[in-house]
């Protein structure tokens, strides 16, 4: 399926994987709307992408239903919805130190937010449209300090399968990235970011950690492939094998 002349909403497209996907879609001739909570990030994304006429940015918090409803009222009809958003600040802690509010922010951004995007966005999608969410390797290779993220990623993949049935023929899928070199590692590893990524690169069958473009390419496949739905596409360099 050709995505030129389509309209795509990317939530969390102000940086990392979402920003790489925005560039991928723009290069393919699609119109792109990037939504996120930070006006500064959205401004930086627009500048980074060269301020194209086919790009719009909207400040919106997907954990607030009124803002999600208003977002789709503004956008109108569209073809694809993607969310790479995740608020994991403070969530990577051992249980004795875990702050419940930090855990709740993960649930709100990675589970309730996608649920609201599907609720209010599906009626706006074309019958050949798609919804793609982002889970992650933590659901399959959980580690100490990562219990909340592991649980939410697994729950999101269950939501994807249910929505694929309920919203058919709209296609609903998830991409599950492995370790990808993005700014999110500032919350996960702090000053040990490079050390941890290099150690993982040596373990992985692919011989390196992921790049944002790897994930953007995978999401692009799910947008284009009209026979894939209810699926989690693993893009993790073989991490589940080691």
Give residues with Cβ within 8 angstroms of 210, minimum separation 6: 177, 178, 179, 180, 181, 235, 236, 237
Which residue is it, tokens 């249910």? 162
Contact 149, 107 (CB under 8 A): no
For residue 175, list its beta bridge partners. Answer: 134, 233
Active-site residue identified among 15, 135, 147, 176: 135
Q: Which of 130, 91, 109 is nearest to 35 (CA)?
A: 109
Q: Which of 66, 74, 60, 69 is nearest to 14 (CA)?
A: 60
What is d(CA 72, CA 38) in angstroms, rounded to the nearest whole number? 18
What is d(CA 81, CA 9) in angstroms, rounded to the nearest whole number? 5
Q: Residue 235: phi, psi to the nearest 5? A: -130, 80
What is d(CA 157, CA 136) in angstroms, rounded to the nearest whole number? 9
What is d(CA 17, CA 14) in angstroms, rounded to the nearest whole number? 9
Any catalytic annotation for residue 217? no
For residue 55, list its beta bridge partners. Answer: 32
Active site residues: 135
């Amino acid at each position: 399926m050709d995505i030129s002349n389509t309209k795509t909403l990317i939530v969390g497209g102000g940086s990392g994987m979402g920003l790489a996907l925005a560039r991928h879609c723009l290069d393919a001739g699609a119109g792109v709307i990037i939504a996120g909570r930070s006006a500064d990030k959205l401004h930086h994304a627009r500048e980074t992408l060269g301020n194209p006429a086919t790009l719009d940015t909207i400040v919106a918090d997907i954990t607030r239903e009124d803002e999600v409803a208003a977002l789709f009222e503004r956008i109108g009809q569209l073809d694809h919805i993607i969310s790479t958003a995740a608020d994991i600040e403070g969530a990577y802690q051992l249980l004795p130190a875990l702050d419940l509010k930090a855990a709740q922010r993960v649930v709100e951004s990675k589970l309730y937010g996608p649920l609201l995007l599907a609720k209010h966005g599906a009626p706006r999608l074309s019958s050949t449209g798609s919804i793609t969410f982002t889970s992650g390797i933590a659901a399959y290779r959980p580690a100490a300090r990562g219990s909340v993220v592991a649980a939410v990623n697994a729950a999101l993949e269950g939501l994807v399968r249910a929505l694929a049935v309920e919203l058919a023929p709209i296609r609903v899928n998830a991409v599950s990235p492995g370790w990808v070199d993005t700014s999110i590692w500032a919350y996960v590893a702090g000053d040990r970011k490079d050390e941890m990524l290099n150690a993982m690169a040596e373990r992985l069958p692919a011989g390196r950690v992921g790049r944002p473009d790897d994930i953007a390419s995978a999401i692009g496949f799910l947008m284009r492939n009209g026979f894939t739905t209810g699926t989690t596409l693993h893009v993790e360099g073989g991490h589940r094998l080691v």
